[in-house]
Chain A
Amino acid sequence: MTAVLLRQTPLPDPFRAGIAGGWKVIDASALQADLALEADIAIVGTGAGGGTAAEILSAAGFSVVMIEEGPLATSSDFHMLEREAYPQLYQESAARKTRDKAINILQGRCVGGGTTVNWTSSFRTPPTTLAHWSRQFGIAGFTDADLAPWFERVERRLNITPWDVAPNENNDILRRGAQALGIPVATIRRNVKACWNIGYCGVGCPTNAKQSMLVTAIPAALSNGATLLTRTRAWKLDHSNGRVSALHCLGLDAGGTDPGPRRIVVRAKTFIAAGGAIGTPALLLRSDAPDPAAVVGKRTFLHPTVVSAALMPHSVDGYAGAPQTVYSDHFLDSLPVDGPIGYKLEAPPLHPVLVATTLCGDGAAHARWMRELPRMQVLIALMRDGFHPKSEGGTVSLQDDGTPSLDYPLNDYFWDGARRALATMAEIQFAAGATAVMPVHASGESYATWTQARSAIAALSLKPLVTPVVSAHVMGGCPLGSDRMRSVVDLDGRHHYLDNLYVFDGSLFPTSIGANPQLSIYGIVARLASALVSRLAPTRTALKRLG
């Protein structure tokens, strides 16, 4: 490989400054001996859930240890290069897959988790979703009104505001095409501050504009005295008599892929699992946490996503500018939530590796499309899974080596939505002036008119590993609820059978969200973590409030 270009930017890197100032950050791959730590609270994972919890609990005066499987990489390490970012910041080099390999999952694995690499799209949990949780799962106290104050609090903290800069052309084509067809669109809110609008959110923000956990909650927790362990895989919880006593961790090697020689044990009064909707169920399964109804790891949701590529007569430069700023919920809102599967329309950033690995086929045809990258426009449709009896999601189980695998069968209920979505996206792209549209599919065929595309899409053979399906949102697997037959934790996020174990991440959700989930995780975890503070130390909290 060519030598890595080490770009020295003059931009500030507050995280590195914090470490120089004495923050407690331990890279387990560099440990010379095994390690034992004690804390009030051990938090597994530093993404949207773990980060939010760490800030709130450390601010309340609890000693906190954060355990992160991925490495610490900060703004000085973010060179806007896919070849560096995917292996460094993503699960399985951004090539994590479901068991049959039919769905490629983009999932963060670094300090800040998915928030370090997401595209900044911020949506409150849709009221339709919350109403469905209440109706179908008996989840009380999670209405729009109940959660609104928590969303407001997080929105202030992370500067979540409407993007009032003009969308990049890739997003504006979604706006123009949809509007030409009478399909309503809206502007996405983003968690950014003084954003440079350069478009590299997915490979780590080099300017610290993105208000990820890496830039906000984790520095706050470290300033409050918390300890951060990196390259540390939470492996197994020791529990007896309904309580967890210790968490055993594997220190990973310097490459971050394999267990190294070091073992870390964390003893705490309270444990929080926030390793994401694949990692958290896996931790509970490895730990033999009581699960009499066999719920753990079931109903794991992905917003399985299909893709449509188009060529425009003018330049689009889809790699430049804020990646996601326009969306349409028309095909969610116009369908009953428990009817045929609905989908959210968005646009993705078009960086070379992401595009080249998503487009089908090879040889001259693939090369021809790649040469058109500057004129390429791409839409994605994210399916709202988990709301219909035929949409049960996937199942997390353990492989021989104890690491998780997700089996997610794609059935006709899903493919029906995929076919409608491919047609919708093609129609929008033509309405915006596309000269060719290619529903991303193994056939590699593209079409010059909407009429051609419509009949071709109606006849396309849609099946796993023929129609690429991707996911960037993993949810469910440890759902909250009061019915122990259908949930893993109660409405406080507390494990039904282990009193001092909580789940505070996207695995709490009984269905998918139907929107990019980061704000749902922030808001719900902010509420659960604040309630935990009140439960653990009512006096301390009261004093702090007075002070």
Chain B
Amino acid sequence: MPDSTPSPRISRRTLLKAGIVAGAGLVFARWLYTSTAPPQPTPPPGALDARASEVVAAIAPVMLAGALPTGNPVLLQQVVAGVEQAIAGLPPAARKEIDQLFALLWFAPSRGLIAGVWAPWHEASSASIGAFLDRWRESRLGLLRSAYGALHQLVFAAWYGNANAWPAIGYAGPPPLGAAG
């Protein structure tokens, strides 16, 4: 179920690590977070909240440019659902890390300071999202490269696991199995 209360779930440790990048501004963000809500327990499996869905729905069309047909909300929704399903299959410790990543990306101050995306995700331009992805992929910080890697793996697995992606790549899908011969 979507979480309607925007309760932040970033741990202090994650923000501290990320703070190396963004300096004092991020210290402010951390203060804002830790002073408004304590870290929450590991989310239950299957819960990709509305905030994470919004982030994925914004990032996926840019990551999948040239692969995901544009202007097709049904396919985009399938990617979001595929990401949700993939996260649900992870153990609690990994789910918690992913949850923190999405919380960091969703929360406006950290989104701006760390990702460099200042507009809310649903209003952010493809160019600004592409620049964010490039920056993280090529970052000197292993932490940001690993965060990019997580987004990369989730989004590409969600799309290319979907049979709707296969005609464009010439993959016919699994062969039919007849009766044992």
A positions within 8 Å CB-CB of B: 1-2, 7, 9-12, 79-83, 86-87, 92-93, 95, 100-102, 104, 198, 200, 206-207, 253, 255, 257-258, 319-320, 352-353, 355-357, 360-364, 366-368, 370-371, 373-374, 399-401, 403, 405, 442, 464-466
Contact = CB atoms under 8 A, between A and B. Distances in A.
Nearest to A93: B89
25 contacts: A10-B180, A11-B179, A11-B180, A81-B174, A83-B85, A87-B88, A87-B89, A92-B90, A93-B89, A100-B146, A101-B150, A200-B174, A352-B166, A352-B171, A353-B161, A361-B137, A362-B133, A362-B137, A363-B62, A366-B156, A367-B65, A368-B66, A373-B170, A373-B171, A403-B91
A540 to B, nearest CB: 39
Given A366-B66, A370-B160, 17 more contacts: A7-B177, A11-B179, A82-B157, A82-B161, A87-B85, A87-B88, A95-B86, A206-B177, A207-B180, A257-B91, A352-B165, A356-B160, A357-B160, A367-B67, A399-B93, A401-B93, A405-B93
Interface string B10-21: 000000000000
B162 A464 contact: no
A207 B174 CA distance: 13
A465 B89 contact: no
A198 B173 CA distance: 12
A356 B166 CA distance: 12
List the 4 shortest-distance A-B pairs measured between CB atoms, nearest first. A367-B66, A83-B161, A80-B174, A87-B89
A371 B91 contact: no
A368 B67 CA distance: 8
Contact of A371 (B62, B86, B170): B170
A362 B152 contact: yes
A83 B164 CA distance: 13
A367 to B, nearest CB: 3
B73 interface: no
Contacts of B166: 352
Main secondary structure of the interface of B (DSSP, over half): helix
Contact of B160 (A7, A353, A405, A466): A353
B142 interface: yes
Interface in B132-181: 133, 137-138, 142, 145-146, 149-150, 152-153, 155-157, 159-166, 168-171, 174-175, 177-180
Given A198-B175, A367-B65, A401-B92, A352 B170 contact: no
B24 interface: no
Interface of B: 44-46, 62-67, 78, 81-82, 85-86, 88-95, 130, 133, 137-138, 142, 145-146, 149-150, 152-153, 155-157, 159-166, 168-171, 174-175, 177-180
A399 B94 CA distance: 11
B142 A100 contact: yes
B66 to A, nearest CB: 3
Contacts of A100: 142, 146
A406 to B, nearest CB: 13
Contact of A362 (B64, B90, B145, B174): B64
Nearest to B46: A255
A273 to B, nearest CB: 20
Nearest to A355: B160
A1 B81 contact: yes
A276 to B, nearest CB: 15
Contact of B145 (A253, A258, A465): A465
Contacts of A257: 45, 88-92, 95
Contact of A92 (B45, B66, B91, B169): B91
B18 to A, nearest CB: 15
Nearest to B92: A258
Nearest to B164: A2
Contacts of B92: 257-258, 401, 403
A352 B178 CA distance: 23
A356 B45 contact: no
A71 to B, nearest CB: 12
A258 B54 CA distance: 26
Residue with the greatest number of chain A CB neighbours at <10 A, chosen from B67, B130, B145, B161: B161
A2 B163 contact: yes
Contact of A356 (B62, B89, B159): B159
A208 to B, nearest CB: 9
Given A79-B174, A257-B92, A12 B180 contact: yes
A366 B78 contact: no
A465 B146 contact: yes
Given A363-B62, A363-B65, A367-B65, A255 B130 contact: no
For B150, B156, B168, B174, the residue with the greatest tally of chain A CB atoms inside 10 Å of its CB is B174
Contacts of B130: 363
Contacts of B174: 79-81, 198, 200
Contacts of B178: 10
A450 B61 CA distance: 35
Contacts of A102: 142, 146
Given A255-B46, A363-B130, A368-B66, A101 B81 contact: no
B156 A357 contact: yes
B152 to A, nearest CB: 7
